[in-house]
């Protein structure tokens, strides 16, 4: 794995975790098979439509709350189970859930945020797999203002761990270019309180 950030947490990149043909076939299957929904979320006290489609899969009881929405996990889809096992073998971590984000085109995005919800624990370990179109992934340090932009390509894996969610924010910005669909699968471990 290639370190991209090593201070105040870690951001690691593993290019081509999935070979492009496998990743492209997976994009087609997951686009059709997963239970995508368009949510309304709370941002700064206002309810707005989420600028992407989402779904939440995981072990029974892996309940996750963000942006004012409580997510009860759907049972694991076999393709997600296979990916989870492969990621666990690669990282040595155990994951009990995955947040799936479907970016239909360049208008779909993710604003600046940290995955710092209490059910993720004090030092979350996230394995985030990109499938489909290349998209820019941006990070910035909340105290120093240091910024990085990474082009995440079809099949790339990034790991966010240590103190990363405490000190860094990340986003997937909108793009004016014509962009094909992208799915991001963010595997994580919900810690039961």
What domains are defined for the chain?
Answer: 2-34+76-188 (2.60.120.590)
d(CA 11, CA 140): 12
Q: Which string of b and e fits 127-158 if b means at least 16 CB within 10 Å?
A: bbbbbbbebebebbbeeeeeeeebebbbbbbb
pLDDT at 47: 76
Contacting residues for 1 by C-beta, under 8 A, at least 6 apart: 12, 13, 14, 159
For 37-44, what is the mean pLDDT?
A: 78
Q: What percent of the chain has pLDDT over 70?
A: 98
In the numeric block, which tokens belong to residue 32? 């059709």
Please, what is the average pLDDT of the chain?
Answer: 95
pLDDT at 193: 52
pLDDT at 161: 98
pLDDT at 105: 96
pLDDT at 42: 67
For 9-21, what is the mean pLDDT?
A: 98
Residues forming beta bridges with residue 115, ordered by sequence position = none
For 126-145, what is the mean pLDDT?
A: 97
Q: pTM value?
A: 0.94
Confidence grade of residue 191 (pLDDT, cut at 50, 70, 90) = very high
For 159-185, what is the mean pLDDT?
A: 96
pLDDT at 40: 78
Confidence grade of residue 46 (pLDDT, cut at 50, 70, 90) = confident
For 20-30, what is the mean pLDDT?
A: 97
d(CA 177, CA 105): 9
Q: Are 112 and 171 in contact (CB under 8 A)?
A: yes
d(CA 125, CA 87): 12
Confidence grade of residue 80 (pLDDT, cut at 50, 70, 90) = very high
- State the angle between helix axes of 78-91 and 20-33 in degrees (0 to 180), rounded to the nearest 10: 140
Q: How many Cα atoms are found within 13 Å in the side-chain-facing hemisphere of 189?
A: 15
pLDDT at 49: 81
d(CA 153, CA 115): 22
């Amino acid at each position: 794995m290639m370190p991209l950030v090593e201070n105040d947490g870690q951001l690691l990149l593993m290019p081509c975790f999935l070979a492009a043909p496998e990743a492209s076939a997976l994009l087609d299957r997951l686009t059709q098979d997963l239970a995508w929904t368009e949510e309304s979320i709370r941002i700064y006290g206002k309810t707005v439509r989420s600028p992407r489609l989402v779904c939440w899969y995981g072990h029974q009881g892996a309940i996750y709350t963000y942006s004012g929405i409580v997510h009860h996990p759907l049972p694991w889809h076999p393709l997600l189970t296979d990916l989870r096992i492969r990621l666990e073998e690669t990282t040595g971590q155990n994951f009990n859930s995955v947040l799936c984000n479907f970016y239909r085109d360049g208008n779909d995005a993710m604003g600046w945020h940290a995955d710092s919800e209490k059910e993720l624990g004090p030092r979350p370990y996230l394995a985030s797999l990109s499938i489909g179109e290349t998209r820019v992934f941006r990070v910035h340090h909340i105290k120093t203002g240091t910024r990085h932009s990474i082009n995440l390509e079809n099949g790339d894996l990034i790991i966010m761990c240590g103190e990363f969610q405490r000190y860094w924010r990340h986003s997937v910005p909108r793009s004016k270019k014509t962009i094909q669909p992208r799915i991001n699968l963010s595997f994580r471990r919900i810690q039961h309180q």
